[in-house]
Amino acid sequence: MTHATPESVDVQLGERSYRILIARGLLDSAGDRLRELFPAGKCAIITDSNVGPLYANRVAGALSNAGYTPTVVTVPAGEKSKCMEQVESACDQMIAAGLDRKAFVVALGGGVVGDLAGFVAAVYYRGIPYVQLPTTIISQVDSSVGGKTGVNAAGGKNLIGSFHQPRLVLADVATLETLPAREYNEGFAEVIKHAIIRDAQLFDDTGHADRANLSHMIARNVAIKARIVAADEHETTGERALLNFGHTVGHGIEAAAGYGRYLHGEAISLGIVAASLLSMRKAGLPQQDHDRILERLHQFHLPVKLPADIATESILAALKTDKKFAQGKIRFVLSSGIGSAFLSDAVTLPDITEAIEALR
């Protein structure tokens, strides 16, 4: 079977630079591509109970054929697996299989698996390499790129983690064809976010996204994220914080609703609406742009109204542990128009409270 030449995006981080390849059929060529990076030896494929049955044997076969000895570690699907208990379990299984500091990790799955597996790689033997094989839109356009790894704590999302860049990202778009509609749609929250902060043309193009032909759109998203990550890897200048448009309130809603009620992209959709409302008040976002954002979220069946049973107080409590609160000050991402965004300290807690109430 012949496959098109992959679209390719480089993340420029000096000696930690790496390549993202986007095409159909990359799972089957994973072994050959990894031989360019790692000598033959042991590796762990970390996946979940949804993705594992679909693809783990294929990936393990491709790696075995290239001379590797893979161990498959499967965690339960869902956000609840982003926890220290699963990190410990994965490490124990890797130790039992004899993986040492020359081993590497393959993250095969969506955002939860990528964050978890990346964190396992960051801490196992004080850090071993890993590669990302993202299988959802949200992980292909967003979470597999940029080296943010981690798990959730009782007090909030992603509070335990590490910056650990992958050595390679292989985004096989054929895996998107097995996504249920809800998981397919949630990924577009991150696509819409990238478009709002950086690319007005991409925003227009999402209006006619074609499920059978997503490679180029994914490559455009990845290029946006790659440029921002290269400019501000550890989120010190404020540039990388732009990627958090919609995430401050979105993460608060995700935590307050109880992990599992909303998919990540669904919570981010609500956060995008709140950020858009605040952008109209604080940054001059035109009403017309706000309406277009709402319409686009609607198009992907993403939520734009907050249910009454999720209390504003519990969302605000979750917000206060958020990493985007620097020294107690709120750094909030606003948009002055689709295609541009900036970091503002003009948004107060009462402003956020009002925006959350306006979601109801």
Point out the residues that are catalytic: 126, 148, 190, 225, 235, 240, 244, 247, 251, 264
Name beta bridge partners: 46: 73, 107
User: Cβ atoms within 10 A of the Cβ of 28, count?
Assistant: 17
Which residue is it, tokens 């858009």? 276
Name the 3-class secondary structure at 298. Answer: helix
Query: How many whole angstroms separate alpha carbon 264 and alpha carbon 104?
Result: 27
Cα dist. 319→80, 142, 187, 188, 352 in Å? Answer: 19, 22, 23, 23, 10
Distance (Å) of CA 176 to CA 170, 231, 237: 13, 29, 34
Residue 18 phi/psi, 5° resolution? -155, 170
Task: Please name the residue that has the structure tokens 């089957």.
Answer: 28
Strands (E), the chain: 7-11, 18-23, 42-48, 69-75, 104-109, 130-134, 148-153, 156-163, 168-172, 325-326, 329-330, 332-337, 340-344
DSSP code string of 179-196: --HHHHHHHHHHHHHHHH
Instruction: Identify the residue whose tokens are 């609160």.
Output: 325
Which residues lie closer than 8 Å to 139 by C-beta, 6 or more apart?
109, 110, 111, 113, 114, 132
Kindly report the length of the chain.
360
- Strand partners of residue 71: 44
Count CB-CB contacts under 10 A for residue 324.
17
Nearest-10 Cα torsion for 216, 173, 205, 115:
-100
